[in-house]
Amino acid sequence: MQTTSPQISADDCFLEVDHIFVCTAKSAESVSVLEELGFYCSNQPVQHLKQGTVSKIIFFENTYLELIWIEDKHLVQQQSELTDVQTLTRVRGQRTGASPFGIGLRRKSEESKLVSHSTLYCAEWMPTKMSISFAAENLANQQEPFCFVIPDCAAITSWLDLSLTAHQQLISHPLGVRKLTSVKIIINSDKDLTDVMSVLCVNSAVVIERGESPLLELTFDEGIRKKNLDARPILPILFKC
* Across 189-212, average pLDDT: 87
Find the largest Cα–Cα distance for the chain. 47
Instruction: Quote the radius of gyration of the chain (alpha carbons, Å).
Output: 17
Q: What secondary structure does DSSP assign to the chain, as a single string? A: -B---S---GGGGGEEEEEEEEE-S-HHHHHHHHHHHTPPPPSSPEEETTTTEEEEEEE-SS-EEEEEEES-HHHHHHHHHHH---HHHHHTHHHH----EEEEEEESSTT--S-SSEEEE--TTSPTT--EEEEHHHHH-TTS-EEEEPPGGGSHHHH--TTSHHHHHHT--TT----EEEEEEEE---SPPPHHHHHHHHTTS-EEEE-SS-EEEEEEGGGTT--EEE-TTTSSEEEE-
Q: Which of 210, 213, 218 is nearest to 184 (CA)?
A: 218
* Across 138-149, average pLDDT: 89
**What is d(CA 223, CA 212) in angstroms, rounded to the nearest whole number?**
25
pLDDT recorded at residue 88: 86
* Across 62-88, average pLDDT: 88
pLDDT recorded at residue 95: 84
Q: What is the number of other CB atoms lying within 10 angstroms of the CB of residue 186?
A: 19
Range scoring the smallest mean pLDDT among 13-22, 56-65, 174-183: 13-22
pLDDT recorded at residue 8: 34
* Across 207-223, average pLDDT: 95
pLDDT grade, residue 116 (50/70/90)? very low
pLDDT recorded at residue 80: 80
111 vs 35, which has greater pLDDT?
A: 35
Fold designation for 10-176: 2,3-Dihydroxybiphenyl 1,2-Dioxygenase; domain 1 (3.10.180)
Say if residue 50's pLDDT is above 60.
yes
* Across 164-187, average pLDDT: 95
Q: What percent of the chain has pLDDT over 90?
A: 53
pLDDT recorded at residue 148: 87
pLDDT recorded at residue 63: 97
Q: What is the pTM of this model?
A: 0.85
pLDDT recorded at residue 209: 94
59 vs 79, which has greater pLDDT?
A: 59
Say if residue 69's pLDDT is above 90.
yes
Q: What is the number of other CB atoms lying within 10 angstroms of the CB of residue 20?
A: 22
pLDDT recorded at residue 122: 42
pLDDT recorded at residue 181: 95
186 vs 130, which has greater pLDDT?
A: 186
67 vs 15, which has greater pLDDT?
A: 67
